[in-house]
Structure formats: structure tokens, C-alpha cells
Structure 1
Amino acid sequence: MKLLLDCSLLSIGGGIQVGLSIIENVANDPDFETVIVCSPQINAQLSDATRNKLYACHVVPNLPFYKKSKQGKYLSKLERKYRPDQVFVVFGPSYWRPKVNNLQGFALGKMLYPEVRKHYPSKVQRFKEEVFDLIKQKLFFRNVGNFVVETEVVKSRLVKNLGIDSDKIFVISNSYSPAFEQRLLERQSQVQPSDDKIVVFIPSSFYHHKNLLILPQALKELKSLSDRKIFFKFTIPEESNGWKLLKNSAQNLGVSEYFFTVGHVPNNVICDEYLSSQIVLCPSLVESSTAVFPESFIAKRPLIVSDRDFARDLCGDGALYFDPLNPIDIAQKINLVLEDGSLYQLLVNNASEVLKKNYLTPDEKWHAQKALLMKLSHK
């Protein structure tokens, strides 16, 4: 099959990991002749060995929203040139309508949980996102043939909230990346948490719905509960506005010395950040799905997460839940895991079972994706 794989919209966060995993799989599968279109961020992490196995690779710049239609015309031109049997847009909405069957991933959780915006500090930001949502909805309805999502919760919300035909929505569970798994096998005996301090890892980009600005207050509350040295570790670029906002808030509350960031971490080494931490924290108000959950589970680090339907559905009894709008509750749950060794181990043990039940292995996920692509290309 000749496949046109569109990774042009993947420039930040977990989408990069998903895109890289798919590229590795199609590049090494003899049943595919693959043309990829990717962002500079994806291209920077592609190995020469993988790139050489592709039929063609086109790198496109990250463009502002108002220039995306021009980029869409470029992708349409590539489709006419290569005449693929199938187009797969890893995460949409695409800014072009392929002529052949197309599959698009959906990961715009805020479109399905618009109520989270009432917690935004800026009404202007809320209004801008609501307008963009309307535009993106129109693009999905106009340009998408079929959707692929990672949970039944997302599928049901797409049907209920946006009126998408359920027959056009396919569910393939999330997984950890092969690179994460390989790094874990290599490093788990070498990388361990420090004995003289507690590190809580928050792997996340800075968006309002990620709810990171509540964490300075949560850490202040945690300091009143425990005399341990507890640090919050982030993956936000140090020069970014998001990190400056977070750091300033922490400084105003007197906890900035306990906040630090490792910045952007390449997909193939982020496993080390899990292994060097005692706890993983996810305060997000909404997720379509996230690699943080299965990565925490396979790394055997207890996960503490927002009490929301998406988290309950994916984590079951493999995580401890908190009210994401209550910094006192966040602090209490972290302290509970630190103080109760049996709870710590119970969460790790339960997570191993949840991982088997709710998630696919990387190989299983690829076989499911391949089967779906083959099925759609023959329609």
C-alpha cells in the first residue's frame, strides 16, 4: 500500500511521540510504501536509518493558523504527485481534503469538554479557543473521512457532542512507545530516585487545560503537611512564557526553590525522568488520551491524577485520584502516597494489571492501526 502519512501538525507534546512511533512502524513494514509530511520537531527526532526506508519525506514549517490553508494546498499537491492509496493524518483537523480514503486521529479534548474553560483566568483566551473550536469543527466535518480515537469515552462524546456518525469512528487503545520500552529495559537498573529528596514528575506541555498553575499552591500546602524535601519536576522549556508564569506564581508563594524543569525531553530518553522520580502527577482537566498513564504504569511509578471520567476510564484502580481544582486535596493525596508504603506498592501492582487490561503493547497497537488502514483502503 502506498500511504501518505501527515504528521505536519505534530509540533509539541505527546503527539510527537505518537507520530514517531507510527513512522517507525510504517518504515519497517514491507507492506507499506510511505510518503511522510512532517513538522521540524518530528524531523529532528527521525533517525537516518528510518528516513532512508521511507519513499519520500517532506518537512514543512510550523505555520500560524491563518496560513494553514496554504500548507493544505501543498499537501494536496503532494497527494496528486504520489497518488497514495490511503491518507492518514495522525492528529487533525487537516487543512485539506484528500481525494482518497482518509483517516484522522482526534485529540482535541477541549472540544469535547468545553466546560473546562470556565476555569480559565482570561476571558479573552476562553473566547479565542471557543472561536477556534468552531473553525476546527467545520474542518473536521469538511475534511475527514474516518476518525480514529483512543478511548470509548472520546468516541461517545464525539457522537453525542458533535453528531459524528459512530460507524466512522474507530477505537484503538493507546500505548507507550517502543522507544520508551527499549530505554526502560536498558536503564531501569541504573536510574533510580534520589534517597535524599522526593521528586514529583509532571510531564506536560503548558496549556491552560493542563491545570499546572494550581501546583504552586498545592506544593505550599504539601510543605505544611511534610518536612521532607519535595520537588516538582516539569518538562516545560525554561525560556517559555508558561514556565515564567509558573515560576512567578511559585515565587510569590515561597516555593520556587522546589520547582524545576528539565525542559523539552526527546521521546527516546524521557523514560529516565520517570525512573528518577518517586511519583507521577497529572492535574489535567481534560485529555483525549495521554501517554503519561501507560508510561507511569510500565515504569512502576505511582500515578496521582485528576478525578475525571477520562482518567477513571483509563486508569481504574491503578491510580489515586484528587479534585484538580482543590490544591489541598492534591497535597493530601501526594502526602498519603509518600507516607503509606503499602498504598505506594498497591498502586504500582494495580497499575501493572490495568496496563494489561486497558492498553495495547506497541506491537499490538501497530497491528490494529495497520489492519484499520488496510480495511479503509479497500472500501
Structure 2
Amino acid sequence: MKIVIDGRMLSWTGIGRYTLSLLEGLQSVDQHNDYVVLVRPSDWSTWKPEARNFTRVECDIDPYSVAEQTALPRVLKRLSPDVVHLLTPNAAALYRGPKVVTVHDLTLLDYDTSRGSRVKRLSTKLKRIPFRWILARQIATATRIVTVTDYIKQQLVQRFKIDPAIISPIWLAADSEHLAAAADESLPDLGAVETCLLYVGNYYAYKNVRTVVDALGVVAQSHPGVHLVLAGNANEFKADLLSQAQELGLADRVIMPGFVTDGQLKWLYRRSKIFVNPSLSEGFGLQGLEAMSQGLPVIAARASCLPEVYGDAAVYFEPLSSTDLAHRILALLRQPELLDELSDKGRKRIEMFSWRKTAEATHRLYMDVGQGQR
């Protein structure tokens, strides 16, 4: 069979990691079928095929562009594939051939992700209108759908009334080997800090980071040495979060280093006491698994897919209650044996996930679609 994979987001943070890891896994599990990977010129050096049955084809069509809906379907048709895998639901909704579509989450349907100036925010909000139509069209015409958790599968079934038999939940995996290979890089501002709470990610409202800052205010009353590290580019959200910390008297306890390298992230995971994932909407919650792979205990919001992915290897709090979160943090800090227990559970939990398993399950799906099985 000839299988075309849309790799136009190779350099993006989340989807890029998914694409690269999936391609690596597929090259190890399938040496028989022919794979063609669409790559933008700017990403050409990001990935090079290692297996003979994998090739790159230049495709200079930007994600989320008009050409993605008009020109990309024609590109796919010219390639005459037996199966197309669109790794996000926004691509080539008008393509009518056999296709597998990955839906990572439905956050854009429920939460505002606009930021910046009033004009930029308005532009982002307006883009949500065609996205809703594109998503509905893509789901309606997909031969098979991949979701990264069963939670997202159930959301699709409930909202779009589609046959659950065509949806296959396929878990992702933490990139623990990549982190293990990275050399530790310390952050100078944290050299003297003994107890850190850690958050890694972006700062849209649905990420619920303000709740963590509020919780720190309660924790700090009895544990003045506790600091909160918010890692990742905060951009337009940074000033607001620092202002919140200032109002709570936490200006010297909330540290925002911005973008961190893999080496710095590894150092943070290993140096922190607790990783907090407060998000209200996730498709998978990969950072929590990464933290577990480094032995870091996890506290997470009891929301969306997080309980499915983390299982009994995390402590959960009511998503909008900073008081509940603070109490969970304090309980762990006061009982080091519970931290050790969570760390052990996390290391065992991480064994359930691997990119090899992700690739094998995805490969089976390609074979089903190629053989005409729906």
C-alpha cells in the first residue's frame, strides 16, 4: 500500500513531537508498505527517513491556511494514496479518499485561546468559526478517527453523534528516552531554592494556572520556603500572573524562566518536589507523564482525560478550588513517604505507554483502512 502522512507541523511543539515519534515507530514496525511524508521546506532538515520505504515530498502549504483546504486536497489526490493520515483535523477537510484523522482534543470548541492586542484576539476568535465547520466536515468524512484518549472518543460520540466503532483511542507516550539523553542544565535563579512546585506548558485561561498561584498563597503560610516555577513562554500572560503573585505577596516565590531547553526541563523535573497539572481541558496531558518518568510526583485536576492517563499514579484536586489544591500539596509536603509512594507509582505507570505501541496500533489501523474495513 501507499500511505501518505501529513508532516507539515514537524517543527511545532506538541504535534511535531507526535509526528516525529510516530514516524520513528512506523519505520521500525513496517518495512513493506510505501510511506510518503509531506514536509514543508522550512522543516526539511527536521526529519530524514531512515527506512527505504519512507520518502519525503516537499509541500509548501502552511497549516491553518486557505490553501490547506483548497490546494492540499489536490496534492493528496495527485499522490494516489491508498490511505492518508491527517495528524490534525484541520487539514484537507474536502479530501474524499480513504483517510485516518487524528483528533487530539476539543479545546478550541470550548475555550477562548485568543491573546495579544484586541485585533489579534478578534482575529483568533473569528478563526474558530471556520474551524468548527472544518472539524465537523473532517469527522463526517473520515474513514477512521484516532483519538489520543478514550475521553476524547466519548466527547466526539456525544457531540457529533458518530459511530463509536470508527474511533480508535491510541495513547501517546512520554519522550523519556529523549529527556534521559539530555544533559542537565541548571537554572541560576533556582540554585538556592529547596522546595519547588513545577508547572510546564502554556498559559491560556483553560490551563488554569491562576489557581496554582492562588494555592501557593495558602501553602506559603505554613511553608514559606516553597516556590512555584512556571516554565514555558508566557508571552502576553506573564504580566498578569506576576501581578497576581505581587498582590498575594508572592513576588519572590513565583519564578517564570520562560522557554526551557530539554536539559533545563530535565533538571527541573528532577529538582522539583511536585509537578502540578491544573488544566481544565487536555487531550492527553503529556507533561505529567514526562514528570513521572523522571520520578516527580504529580498532582492533577480531576478534569478531562487526566484521570484516564495518570490513573492511580497522581493525586487529584477539584479543578477550580485553589483551597483543595493547597490542601493536597500540604498533605504531600508533610508526609514525605507519600511523595515516595507517588514517585514509585509514576515510574510503574509510565511503563504502560510507549511510542512503539502507538506506532503498532496506528499501523494496524492503516491496514484495516487499506483493506476496506470500516
Structure 1 residue 236: deviation in Å? 2.0
Aligned to 2:305, what secondary structure does the other structure show?
A: helix
Aligned partners of 2:61, 2:253: CA distance in 1, in Å? 36
Compared with structure 1, are the counterparts of its residues 25 and 88 closer, same or farther at alpha carbon in structure 2 (3 Å cutoff)?
Answer: same
Percent sequence identity over matched residues?
18
- Higher mean alpha-carbon deviation, 24-33 vs 147-156, is at 24-33
CA distance in 2, matches of 1:374, 1:207: 38
**Aligned partner letter, 2:230:** K
**With structure 1 as the length reference, what TM-score do the two structures score?**
0.81
8 Å CA contact 1:183, 1:269 repeated in 2: no
**1:282–1:254 CA distance, 2 compared to 1 (3 A):** same
Contact 2:73/2:92 (<8 A) preserved: no
Change (3 A) 1:124 1:99: closer
Tell me how far apart the structure 2 counterparts of residues 297 and 338 of structure 1 sit (CA, whole Å). Answer: 17
For 2:244 and 2:41, locate their aligned partners in 1 and report how far apart those are by CA, in whole Å. 32
| 2:115 equivalent in structure 1 | none
Please, which runs of 5 or more residues in structure 1 have no aligned partner?
none
Q: Shift in Å at residue 283 of structure 1?
A: 0.3
SS of residue matched to 2:367: helix
More displaced 10-residue stretch of structure 1: 303-312 or 29-38: 29-38
The separation in 2 between residues aligned to 1:291 and 1:232, in whole angstroms, is 18
Kindly indicate whether residue 179 of structure 2 is the aligned counterpart of residue 183 of structure 1.
yes
SS in 2 for 1:55: strand
Pick closer, same or farther for the CA change 1:51–1:283 going to 2, 3 Å: farther
- Unaligned 5+ segments in structure 2 are 113-117
Residue type matched to 1:55 in 2? Answer: T
| 2:180 aligned partner, one-letter code | L
1:231 aligns with 228
- Name the CA shift for 1:258/1:284 in 2 (closer, same or farther; >3 Å): same
The total of aligned residue pairs comes to 363
| Selected match of 2:329 from 329, 334, 341 | 334
Question: Are 2:22 and 2:358, in contact at CA under 8 Å, matched by a contact in 1?
Answer: no
State the match for 1:150 in structure 2. 148
2:320 to 325, 329, 348: 325
Cα deviation code 1:325-347 (max 9, x no counterpart)? 12222222222222211110111
CA 1:56–1:11 in 2, change beyond 3 Å: closer, same or farther? Answer: closer
| Secondary structure of 2:339 counterpart | helix
Alignment match, 2:161 = 163
Residue in 2 that maps onto 1:215: 212
What amino acid is aligned across from residue 347 of structure 1 in structure 2? L
Alignment pair present for 1:197 and 2:198: no
Select which of 36, 56, 70 maps to 1:73.
Answer: 70
1:287 counterpart SS class: coil
Pick closer, same or farther for the CA change 1:310–1:48 going to 2, 3 Å.
closer
Residue type of the partner of 1:183?
L
CA-atom RMSD, angstroms? 3.6
Residues 38 and 285 of structure 1: is their aligned pair in 2 closer, same or farther, counting only changes over 3 Å? farther
Structure 1 window deviating more from structure 2 (255-264 vs 316-325): it is 255-264
Q: Give the C-alpha shift of residue 16 in structure 1.
A: 2.5
Provide the residue aligned with 2:296 in structure 1.
301
